[in-house]
Every structure is written in C-alpha cells, then in structure tokens.
Amino acid sequence: MFELCRVATELDDSQTDYWLDVIHSAEYFTDDEFTSLKDDNDELLKLLTSILKKTKENAQKTKV
C-alpha cells in the first residue's frame, strides 16, 4: 500500500514537472513564476514523501 502511494506521488510529480515545462515553453508565465511553481512542486513532493515515510514507520512500529 505504501509503495503504491509512493509511486503515485512520484508519477504526479513528474507529470506536474512535465506540464510546467510545457506551459513555460508556451510562454504562458514568466521565468520567475515558473521558478516559483517548480519550487512549490518540489516542496510539496518533499512534504508528501515525508508524510508517507513517517506513516510507514508508524505502521511498522504498530505491528511490533
């Protein structure tokens, strides 16, 4: 279950990166906006990864 969530999170991140690149290439937003959105996306990925890691650790502790 946790592995599936981790994979889904990584897929969402790579899709978000792809679409941010596409939209930026179309000059829909400025370089500063693009950088800000990429940074936000990276931060969200770190947050979700941390949540998944802690949840997995807590679940393993509960099993013991």
61-64: long-range contacts (C-beta < 8 A, 24 or more apart)? none
pLDDT in tens, 11-49: 676 788 889 999 999 999 999 999 999 999 899 888 888
* pLDDT-derived band at 52, boundaries 50, 70, 90: confident
pLDDT of residue 56: 84
State residue 63's pLDDT score. Answer: 74
Residue-range domain boundaries for the chain: 2-58
How is 11-53 classified by DSSP, letter by letter? HHHHHHHHHHHHHHHTTSS-HHHHHHHHHHHHHHHHHHHHHHH
